[in-house]
Amino acid sequence: MDPIHQFQIKNLLTFGHIGGHEIAFTNSALFMLIALAVIAALTIGATASRALVPGRMQSVAEMSYEFVADTLRSTAGSEGMKFFPLVFSLFMFILAVNVIGIIPYTFTVTSHIIITVSLALLVFLTVIVYGFYKHGLHFFKLFVPSGIPIYILPLVTFIEVLSFLSRPVSHSVRLFANMLAGHITLKVFGGFVVMLGGLGFLGSLGAILPLGMTVALTALELLVAFLQAYVFAILTCIYLNDAIHPGH
């Protein structure tokens, strides 16, 4: 009945201790591996036949490729396609993990902020490293907007830097908070059904309302799972675009 209980990390297998920290295979790691297996089955297994006229699974794999490639091309240009492996991996991983998390008795990996922060920092550091590699110190011009009077330029530059630094925060918190809030809401309404169902006939009648709500919320969660993976991917594309393009 505890709505937070579903987010608990459990050690399934302890490998040993490094520096006083337990190194263990947790349920979170297990569901990451399951997500990887699902993605691998889709992208490697379903396209193994290489049919000219794709079958059902092969066309799902092809559609997911086209979808991410179109998103990347439209936001970061064809030059951004060198980052396609990164964006595709992020999108497929988050999508698989989110969708698996909706199934009852599973664990939602992205409901832990440490996971989303790592993914967001990966993108953030990629942008910084590639930006300096490609443009050198010219990359700092990202923080200096043109056409600003000189006397407020330091202030504006400072605000731009803060805005840049806040990117990984909003990038990660959005995914984390959406998954956490959605799953807690789902659990709370599920708890209402059980509580009302224990109150006899009238309670069972009343339990129909939260049950309907749970059904509707599950559909909404499926949408949110896809939408958040898409939002994460498209923001990655937008941020990468800053690093890639001197001219648009």
Partner 1 sequence: MADKDRADDARKKGGRDQPSAEEAALSARLRDLGERLGRHHPDRPSDSGPRSTADPSAIARGFRLSVELVAGVLVGAAIGWLLDRWLGTSPLGMIVFLLLGFAAGVLNVMRAAGVIQPNRLDPPNKRQ
What does the binding site for partner 1 look like in residue numbers (CB under 8 A)?
135, 138-139, 141-142, 145-147, 158-160, 162-163, 165-167, 169-170, 173-174, 177-178, 220, 223-224, 227-228, 231, 238, 242, 245-248
| Least Å from the CB of residue 166 to partner 1 | 4
- 3-class secondary-structure state, position 142: helix
> Considering beta carbons, is residue 31 or 139 the nearer one to partner 1?
139
C-beta of 196: minimal distance to partner 1 in Å?
A: 26
Rounded least distance, CB 175 to partner 1, Å: 10
- Dihedrals phi, psi of 120, to nearest 5 degrees: -65, -40
Nearer to partner 1, 37 or 223 (CB): 223
Grouping H, G, I as helix, E, B as strand and the rest as coil, residue 13 is strand
The Cα 109–Cα 229 span in angstroms is 13
Of the candidates 5, 7, 12, the one whose C-alpha atom is nearest the C-alpha of residue 27 is 12
CA distance 169 to 59: 35
Residue closer to partner 1, measured from CB, 131 or 210 = 131
* 13/165 with CB nearer partner 1: 165
Instruction: Output the smallest distance, CB 184 to partner 1, in A.
Output: 15
Least Å distance, CB 228 to partner 1, is 8
Q: Which is nearer to partner 1, 168 or 210 (CB)?
A: 168
SS3 19: coil
Residue type, 32: M
Token couple for 87:
């964006």
Residues 6+ apart with CB under 8 A from 17: 23
